[in-house]
Amino acid sequence: MAASLPTGLIVLLLAWTSSARGLHPRATTSNLTSPVSVTPSDDWDGIDGSWSSFSIRVGTPPQYSRVFASWMSYQTWVVHPFGCRTGDNSCINQRGGVFNMNESTTWDEVGLYSLAMQQNLGYGGNAYFGYDVVGLGGEGEEGPTLQNATVGDVAINEYYLGLLGVNPKPTNWTSFSNGAPSLMTQLKQNNQIPSVSFGYTAGAPYRFTRVPASLTLGGYDTSRFEPNNVRYTLGADNSRDTIVGIQSITTPQRNSPSETVQLLPSPIYALVDATVAELWLPLLACQSFEKEFGLTFDNDTDMYLVNSTLHQDLLARDATVSFTIGEGITGGLTTTIDFPYAAFDLTARPPYSNMSAESKYFPLRRASNDTQYTLGRTFMQEAYISVDYERAKFNVSKVVWQQDAPANLVAISPTPPGSTQSGVTTSDEDDHSSSAGLGIGVIVGIVVAAVVLLTAAIAFLLWRYRKQKKTRALKRHNSSKSDSQSSSGDTVVATADPYFSKAELEGNEPRDVKLKHKTSTIDGSTIYTPVTPSSPGYNTLISPMTPVAGGAWAGEKDGTAIFEMMGSLPDQNMADSKQITEKDMMRHREKQYNGYDPVEEQKRQELERIKDEERQRKAKVDAGQVREATEAEGGNRRFSFTQGQDSISPVSPRTPGVSTGGTLTGTLPDSLRGEDTM
């Protein structure tokens, strides 16, 4: 094991570092669907500024509309004819055209539903929803066409132009069981885009001779941004999932351009969303903008309207505002995006935000809470966002301004089923951080972290291996020691004699010796050794220091005497036995509970028999004291005893001439006459 361990870990290290770097074979255009570039219209639309829009066609026959891109929306929205007065062609043109569902032969109405988007900003309203044909591109532009796409027909002024939703979330009408797929999902299912992803920038009317927006489905356009290594994870709330951390907003000081002014008192998280035009920031940040740029808040419109004097002053100053964003609000990799004043030089007109007249305005809104913090379409003029929904990642980069630069579309590869690896692109250039391999710094960090972790893993495995090796050696040592102790002849042998040898603890054994457990069975019954505890099946020799259940010890408590009840005494079969002594009682208890040695018992019984015989023998007398004991003289009577006479107590009364088991004959000798033997 020790020899093979380093080899296995080296293989694991190579596999891990290769996976961390995302070095996968590049896909080719032959096996990967090309991304789709949605052609922008030639118009710049909107009542809250001048924005580049996209052309789509809806229904049969097709009706053309201009819409804005939105990744908060997962449906295609167009303007209902009720959004303008009848015959007001100017309104119809300003709203990008209208869609009359009654004039489409393929319209399949679902019903009137509320618009559940941007409610935290105070937006609301409803729309007629249904299914119809949706195609990308205007008249003469044959882009992808979808059947039965979800379409919403709106009339409210909050969404003055329609929206092309690129969020892949399905539409659920009444329950989660009958959801309608999104436009992005349908394109992926029809193999019209390589993956559920997109890249977007809003364009800028102040750059060159107006640079239009760019929208790529299934990939991104590398000609429009400067790559970076900042990767963001989509938020859990799919209504606010493209969240970034704004770490700072700065601008050069008016009177000292070499010094910067912090316009954001504290870092915040904000939603990147091109559905709305303005920047929604905390009140303190708005007040910092007011102080630095001389802005005035208009209570009637909740806007920062700019008069001609202030406008000229701001144009002359031409201040740059820099946004530093990252995945977190402090530390980590960051991206700084610079905005010229021209990005904030917007014009709004009625009916936007209760305006009564057209006016210049600064696109800044006071947010009431953190759910309103938003970087809108103004921010997307200088920023490029690419979102990979299949991997739940996105990137925000700084736009690169190159006049007449050719597009360079890069496909974001789909994820294999059950895979979460980073995407693969078809470009020969460095992969974009939002969907391709990681940057050099990130790769180095991952490799270093992998080496550190694997080193720790090696140390842990070696430590565990050595510990297990020591444990096994200790077990073998204890097992051999136990076997040597058990081979000394303490096996119980079943015989007809119920007695067995006495077992005693050895005096020279260490007190913490490991104990053995043995079981011997005869006809299903368990034989116990003299020191067996009251647990059947075991004859454990218990030392006073042996641990028992609960962590206690089997010995006696120091300094405390132990008293025992008197054991039961053996039954005496003899009518006239000697009194039981304490030694006999202890011997009996030892015989009953501890057993005894048959040889020693036989010797003891033989010794007691001899002692009993000696006690029954008559004491020795001298020869001179011997006399005939067959006659006795009592007064004038002579009598004698014959063999077989019953034993007569010396104090028993006698009746002359009456035999008590013998025959009375003869007379006493003269030598004994007159002596009394009683």
pLDDT tens-digit profile of 447-465? Answer: 778 888 888 889 888 888 8
Instruction: State both tokens at 19.
Output: 């996976």
Same domain, 114 and 221: no
* pLDDT for 582: 75
* pLDDT for 601: 74
Q: Do strands 162-165 and 76-79 pair parallel, antiparallel, or not at all (unpaired)?
A: antiparallel
Same domain, 303 and 448: no
Specify the 3-state DSSP secondary structure of 246. Answer: strand
At which of 447, 469, 488 does a domain end? 488
Rounded CA-CA distance 635/658 in Å is 16
Instruction: Select from 414, 405, 422 the least CA-distant residue to 229.
Output: 422
* pLDDT for 181: 96
- CATH, residue 235: 2.40.70.10
* pLDDT for 542: 45
* Number of helices followed by number of strands (H, E) in the chain: 8, 33
Question: Phi/psi at 361 (nearest 5 deg)?
Answer: -150, 155
* pLDDT for 588: 74
Contact 422, 21 (CB under 8 A): no
Same domain, 63 and 108: yes
Containing domain of residue 143, as a range? 30-194
Residue burial 279-318, b: 16+ Cβ < 10 Å; e: rest: bbbbeebbbbbeebbebeeeeebebbbbeeebbeebeeee
Same domain, 225 and 166: no
Q: Do strands 51-58 and 63-70 pair parallel, antiparallel, or not at all (unpaired)?
A: antiparallel
Same domain, 157 and 204: no
Position 112: which residue type? Answer: L
Rounded CA-CA distance 550/553 in Å is 9
Cα Rg of the chain (Å, integer): 56
At which of 194, 229, 263 does a domain end? 194
End-to-end CA separation in angstroms for the chain: 106
Q: Do strands 51-58 and 126-136 pair parallel, antiparallel, or not at all (unpaired)?
A: antiparallel
Same domain, 424 and 284: yes
* pLDDT for 395: 99
At which of 163, 194, 225 does a domain end? 194
Report DSSP state, residue 501: -
Same domain, 299 and 430: yes
- Report if residue 276 sits inside a domain: yes
Same domain, 174 and 308: no
**pLDDT < 50 positions in the chain:** 1-29, 420-438, 486-503, 505, 511-544, 546, 548-557, 574-576, 630-648, 650, 655-678
Report DSSP state, residue 171: B
Lookup result for tokens 């790529």: 216
4-21 vs 440-486: helix crossing angle, rounded to 10 = 150
* pLDDT for 461: 85
Longest dimension (CA), the chain: 185
- Report if residue 604 sits inside a domain: no
Same domain, 170 and 85: yes
Collect all residues with Cβ–Cβ distance below 8 Å to 219 and sequence separation of at least 6. Answer: 35, 193, 194, 195, 197, 198, 199, 409, 410, 411, 412, 425, 435
Instruction: State both tokens at 440.
Output: 């050099």
Q: Strand locations in 314-366, DSSP E?
A: 321-326, 334-339, 346-348, 359-362, 364-366
Lookup result for tokens 């532009």: 141
CB atoms within 10 A of CB 530: 15
Rounded CA-CA distance 79/93 in Å is 11
Instruction: State both tokens at 307.
Output: 């008069």
- Report if residue 158 sits inside a domain: yes
* pLDDT for 622: 61
Instruction: State both tokens at 677.
Output: 């033997």
- Report if residue 566 sits inside a domain: no
* pLDDT for 641: 44
Same domain, 209 and 251: yes
Q: Strand locations in 533-648, DSSP E?
A: 631-634, 637-640
What is the number of structural domains in the chain?
A: 4
